[in-house]
Copies of this chain bind each other. A is one copy, B any other.
Amino acid sequence: MRATLMHKARDVRLETVADAEIILPTDAVIRITRACICGSDLWPYNDGPNRAGQAMGHEAIGIVEAVGSAVERLRPGQLVIMPFAYSDGQCLFCEEGLQTACIHGGFFGNGGEAGGAQAEALRVPLADGTLYPLDTAPDEALMPGLLSLSDVMGTGHHAAVCARVTPGASVAVVGDGAVGLCGVIAAKRLGAEQIIVMGRHAGRTELARELGATDVVAERGAEAVEKIRSLTGGFGVKAVLECVGTEQAIATSLAIVRSGGAIGRVGVPHYEALPETRLAFYRNLTISGGPAPVRAYIEELLPDVLSGRIEPGRVFDRTLALDDVAEGYRLMNERQSLKVLVRP
């Protein structure tokens, strides 16, 4: 079968590898029908992979092809959503809905122990706990939205949950990437009244407005802080969705949140320490977030995707064949594409 491997920075290739197969009784093998490229895949694309030849991709929907002897809840032929982390569905953390902390779990693609989803097929460990089967065969037009539940939409939702977005809240979304845009969708869905998106890519901020953003702040640094204060009566926003992960992004987040507010961070942090901790204390800020337990969120978000109430599939602005996956990386890295959907 063919799969996407990252050999070194900027060297990502579709190659022929051994077919995915059942190894453990709890495994399933799925045929990937839709996969995509994540903003986090661009870190190894620029800085090099965890190890040479690392299998890439952690977001997919697919069809179950085979199940191990211990798999009880899945059967061949089912359409499934594959979260970016695998999980047993039974441990303390899974029961609490934090599948990304599963005692026996792990991650797909560059982050992790399992294979990559930018491929024709994939072995899924702990299949019963990991895969979310869909009983119906949804319309083709809904596939991008369903695919988004494997990571990007669940991650935007996690940012909003961690930032404690409530009805009527003022919200800022730091970052106009696909996660940021899903953060806009999530904030609107949770009833936020003011949703300020921070970004300077006109196409993306325009889409953000269509998805629910009420204001766009293209400024950065001190000017951005000033602008957001002026948009919020001088106080800053109640909730910040930090969807970037850089030191500047977290510093901006801390500067634009008002006393008693919360920052939900879902951008993988590329900084060591959280700055301004005394200020955060005196202002009673809450800092939360991490890898989203998207498996838990599918249940909540799926009906809204199926009904069309939310349209996270709109973050995919380009569809490529699996053959062209390397071109997809290039397009996203050069910000010519917001998020690339890949069809094996």
Query: How many chain-A residues does the 8 Å CB contact rule pick out?
Result: 36
Per-position binary interface string of chain A over residues 60-76, scored 1 when its CB falls under 8 Å from any chain B CB and 0 otherwise: 00000000000000000
Residues of B within 8 A of A96 (CB): 260
When all copies of this chain in the complex are counted, the total is: 2
Expressed in whole angstroms, the Cα–Cα distance for A331 and B274 within the complex equals: 37
Per-position binary interface string of chain A over residues 82-109, scored 1 when its CB falls under 8 Å from any chain B CB and 0 otherwise: 0000000000110010101100000000
Q: How far is the CB of A53 from chain B (nearest CB, A)?
A: 24
Which of A96, A272, A290 has most B Cβ within 10 Å? A290
Residues of B within 8 A of A278 (CB): 269, 272
Given contacts A259-B98, A289-B284, contact A277 B274 (CB under 8 A): yes
Expressed in whole angstroms, the Cα–Cα distance for A327 and B108 within the complex equals: 63
Q: Is the CB of A92 within 8 A of B235?
A: yes
Q: How far is the CB of A130 from chain B (nearest CB, A)?
A: 18
* Cβ 8 A contact of A289, one of B259, B281, B289, B290: B281
* Cβ 8 A contact of A101, one of B259, B269, B291, B293: B259
Q: Is the CB of B284 within 8 A of A101?
A: yes
A-B contact sample (6 more), CB < 8 A, given A262-B288, A272-B277, A273-B275: A101-B284, A280-B290, A281-B290, A284-B290, A286-B287, A287-B288
In the A-B complex, the 4 residue pairs with the smallest Cβ-Cβ separation, listed nearest first, are A284-B290, A101-B259, A273-B273, A274-B274
